């Protein structure tokens, strides 16, 4: 895009302006230590890089939520299939005692933040740290928390005051942390979660990302910086996939309906967006839990591939038999081959009737 002459272009410009505004506020008011903007590292810095045998079974500390604060580039802009944003991490340790030297890992390759070699963003709770932080309640859930962009922020909790060389923030029992990552992260638009019992993806249409949190439950283990923020033992980490709420995948479906037409069923659907969409398949079953049979021989192609603007579609099921009730599902297929089904839509095909005003044929007598 050479000119900012579309809605999408203006939104991107405003997003970039918002990032610049945050940086200006930090520089002007000193709300956050300037080191925070440079605290993270990227590359092959996933959990196994620091602790090769980590199994991450303790789950005492976890990244509970990863929220898009400022969307710089959506899945449909710039490099197709990638997004870029400023994120806020919600870190919790529900029911756990004090935990120390908290590390954060976010997969930048769409895979697992634990496995190395890989591509991860690694961060920690950098200075300022203090034995007496000011707690608020940013998300109004009744749990005390610290937030690095809160005007009252004095620093993350320092529970290891006996070691002057320790500069890594900790998390106090019964509290939570909100950390805004002040550098943009670029992630692939993938939908690999949730999964079934065999670990196969059950896509839900929302982009997701792999994350891990690590800690040490032993006090006075010197952590002088980000290189010391990794699992204290093989179990002292928790990993999962998180949905990025508000970041849709291939299709945002506006409607899907089935209605009898003649001796068949007309299927119609409309999309709001088709960011990563390749096309659609249609399936039919005679009962709600019956076997689903695909109706179209070839993929029904997207009318707006990679677009933030949707389209309208129709398909006539001419194989529907009169007098039956049918259940229909619409499946969208994205550029990664991931399919998401929507539905069912239900239609009853009426029995065929003789046309009014046309006399029944009279049998002719046999000719002699």
5 class by beta-carbon count within 10 Å (0-12 exposed, 13-18 middle, 19+ buried): exposed
End-to-end alpha carbon distance in the chain:
84
- Positive or negative, the Cα torsion across 8, 12, 13, 18? positive
- Positive or negative, the Cα torsion across 300, 301, 306, 312? negative
Structure tokens at 58: 């303790």
d(CA 48, CA 83): 25
**Helix, strand, coil distribution of the chain in percent, nearest 5:** 10, 40, 50
d(CA 76, CA 305): 9
What pLDDT sits at residue 167?
Answer: 94
9-13, 24-28, 135-139, 346-350 — most confident range: 135-139
**Number of Cβ within a 10 Å radius of residue 198:** 5
User: Could you report the per-residue pLDDT of 166-188, keeping only the tens digit for each?
Assistant: 999 999 999 999 999 999 999 98
- Give me the DSSP letters along 230-268: S-SSTTSEEEEEEEEEEEE-S-EEEEEEEEEETTEEEEE
Structure tokens at 340: 């998401």
User: Could you report the per-residue pLDDT of 90-110, keeping only the tens digit for each?
Assistant: 999 988 999 999 999 999 998
- Quote the radius of gyration of the chain (alpha carbons, Å): 28
User: Could you report the per-residue pLDDT of 29-45, keeping only the tens digit for each?
Assistant: 333 333 344 589 999 99
Give residue limits of the domains in the chain: 7-246, 252-348
Residue 190's pLDDT band, with cuts at 50, 70 and 90, is confident
What's the mean per-residue pLDDT of the chain?
82
C-alpha to C-alpha distances, 254 to 51, 137, 257, 272, 274, nearest whole angstrom: 46, 36, 10, 6, 11
User: Could you report the per-residue pLDDT of 192-231, keeping only the tens digit for each?
Assistant: 788 777 776 676 767 889 999 999 988 877 899 999 999 9
User: Could you report the per-residue pLDDT of 273-305, keeping only the tens digit for each?
Assistant: 787 788 999 999 998 888 999 999 999 999 988
The CATH number of the domain covering residues in 252-348: 2.60.40.10
**Number of Cβ within a 10 Å radius of residue 354:** 8
- Whether pTM > 0.75 for this model: the answer is no
C-alpha to C-alpha distances, 209 to 85, 92, 110, 220, nearest whole angstrom: 13, 18, 6, 33
């Amino acid at each position: 895009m050479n000119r900012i002459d579309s809605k999408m272009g203006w939104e991107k410009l405003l997003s970039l302006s918002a990032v610049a505004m945050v940086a200006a506020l930090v520089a002007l008011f000193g709300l956050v230590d300037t080191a925070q903007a440079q605290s993270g590292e990227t590359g092959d810095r996933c959990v196994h890089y620091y602790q090769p045998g980590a199994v991450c079974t303790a789950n005492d500390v976890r990244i509970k939520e990863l929220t898009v604060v400022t969307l710089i580039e959506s899945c449909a802009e710039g490099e197709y299939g990638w997004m870029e944003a400023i994120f806020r991490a919600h870190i919790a340790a529900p029911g756990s005692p004090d935990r120390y030297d908290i590390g954060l890992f976010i997969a930048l390759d769409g895979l697992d933040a634990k496995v190395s070699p890989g591509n991860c963003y690694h961060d920690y709770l950098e200075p300022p740290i203090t034995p007496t932080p000011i707690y608020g309640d940013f998300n109004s859930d009744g749990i005390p928390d610290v937030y690095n962009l809160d005007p009252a922020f004095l620093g993350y909790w320092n529970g290891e005051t006996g070691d002057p060389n320790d500069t890594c923030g900790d998390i106090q029992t019964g509290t939570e942390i909100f950390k805004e990552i002040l550098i943009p992260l670029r992630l692939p638009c993938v939908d690999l979660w949730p999964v079934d019992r065999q670990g196969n993806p059950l896509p839900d249409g929302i982009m997701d990302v792999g994350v891990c949190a690590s800690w040490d439950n032993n006090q006075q283990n010197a952590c002088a910086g980000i290189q010391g923020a990794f699992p204290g033992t093989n179990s002292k980490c928790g990993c999962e996939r998180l949905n990025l709420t508000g970041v849709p995948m291939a299709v945002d479906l506006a409607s899907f309906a089935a209605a009898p037409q003649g001796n068949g069923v007309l299927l119609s659907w409309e999309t709001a967006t088709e960011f990563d969409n390749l096309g659609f398949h249609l399936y039919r079953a005679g009962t709600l839990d019956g076997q689903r049979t695909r109706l179209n021989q070839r993929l029904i192609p997207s009318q707006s591939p990679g677009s933030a603007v949707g389209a309208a579609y129709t398909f006539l099921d001419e194989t529907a038999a009169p007098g039956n009730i049918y259940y229909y599902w619409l499946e969208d297929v994205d550029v990664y081959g991931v399919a998401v089904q929507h539905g069912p839509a239900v239609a009853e095909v009426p029995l065929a009737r003789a046309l009014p005003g046309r006399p029944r044929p009279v049998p002719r007598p046999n000719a002699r």
